[in-house]
Structure 1
């Protein structure tokens, strides 16, 4: 599900579930475990990378559609806990976005400290509305803190995906580079950060990211229950089934 590559003080965690790194419980658990274990294994920084053309296609909807409510709830809880693990990492985490990154893929990237995206016809965003879902406030907060409340509102309400150039202009991603250099640039940014005095850098980082950590930590199981209720609304089910049909083609 994942590949681990060590580059001195930096651990690269590469999602490895072809064809689009769809997020199922097994992949999420592997990613969550690797992120949490990295500092204890000596990593001073982490790069989370996807595959060529697609960072992650988001949650594995065909898989989720087969689950009963209890298993569905557990799968979504695992997703939110993985996002929280990235946000709470005591060492910096960079997203190396080599391609498209909709929905859940975007959420994971937004939890990182920095985002390097491939230049080209790739899109990123929170398109939950397009499939009948409401992104919880904790997730909306991730976008608001990067691009501001009004711009986030416009994208969230429309469920819009934006291309790489627009994403950088909005501040949704920090840097664009050629696809083959995405992970190299992600490591380079970390290497420069890690040259700073470690204790003050990490302490400042904790203070600066406290709102992000608090937003995800405050997401409760009762809120998750409301989110899952929405999954079973007729309009959402119709949109999800249409999505699965498109994916099947």
Structure 2
């Protein structure tokens, strides 16, 4: 579909492969294309698999944009928060095949998916905002609190703890860990299993289960905009 995200849909399964340089940085252009891919997946009525390149899922926001000025950074974070909110309420299941490191916004994408599979290996999954001198945005706090275990939430957000793929399972970032050569096949197997779901029931149940989280995230996104304007 585009150069920053490769989109393929086969047999009711849409695969989105992030393809934005060495670390799959989330830029405004990538987020725009991400949304376009989700639009297409909705039209295709397809279960979604999101993956990256070998060794890296995503290193987070594009630092060039984040360092280009406060207004640009604020806009990018707002766009990213809107994206994760959309993922949480997507009509079809979203599966992430985490192909390596998932840092900052890359880890938040994991928290917005319905099922997460990580690659085994010397990879890091972390919310490193505090480590690099950023005060965690409210939308990030709400999303992390809604998906991580209470103990892992404190360690991940306040302490910027780095989790191995295996430790990320017990923390709540991912659901299972497989070898790299099994990653995509496992994601496709999960997608085939999810095809058995009644999608209307899945969607309406997901909205009920996540009602409080989605409302909190919407409020947090607005709070972040107000905070950033002062």
Q: TM-score, normalised by structure 2?
A: 0.90
Q: Is the 8 A contact 2:78 2:221 kept in 1?
A: no
Is 1:213 the counterpart of 2:183? The answer is no
Q: Distance in 2 between matches of 1:58 and 1:228?
A: 23
Unaligned segments of structure 2, at least 5 residues: none
Give the equivalent residue in structure 2 for 1:15: 18
Deviation by residue 1:69-96 (Cα, 9 ceiling, x = unmatched): 3333222222112222212211111111
Q: CA deviation at 1:221?
A: 3.9
Moved more, 198-207 or 16-25: 198-207
Give the equivalent residue in structure 2 for 1:59: 61
CA RMSD of aligned residues (A): 1.9
Instruction: Map residues 89-238 of structure 1 onto 2, 5 A cutoff.
Output: 89-227=90-228
Residues 1:197 and 1:28: Cα distance change in structure 2 (over 3 Å): closer
Q: Is the 8 A contact 1:36 1:85 kept in 2?
A: no
Runs of 4+ more than 3 Å apart = none
Unaligned segments of structure 1, at least 5 residues: 230-249
3-state SS of 2:97 partner: strand
Q: CA deviation at 1:54?
A: 0.6
Moved more, 8-17 or 218-227: 218-227
Q: CA deviation at 1:48?
A: 1.1
Is 1:71 the counterpart of 2:75? The answer is no
Moved more, 143-152 or 153-162: 143-152
Q: Distance in 2 between matches of 1:164 and 1:196?
A: 28
Q: CA deviation at 1:222?
A: 4.5
Q: Distance in 2 between matches of 1:215 and 1:197?
A: 27
Q: Distance in 2 between matches of 1:222 and 1:54?
A: 31
* Larger Rg over CA atoms: 1
Is 1:47 the counterpart of 2:19? The answer is no
Q: TM-score, normalised by structure 1?
A: 0.84
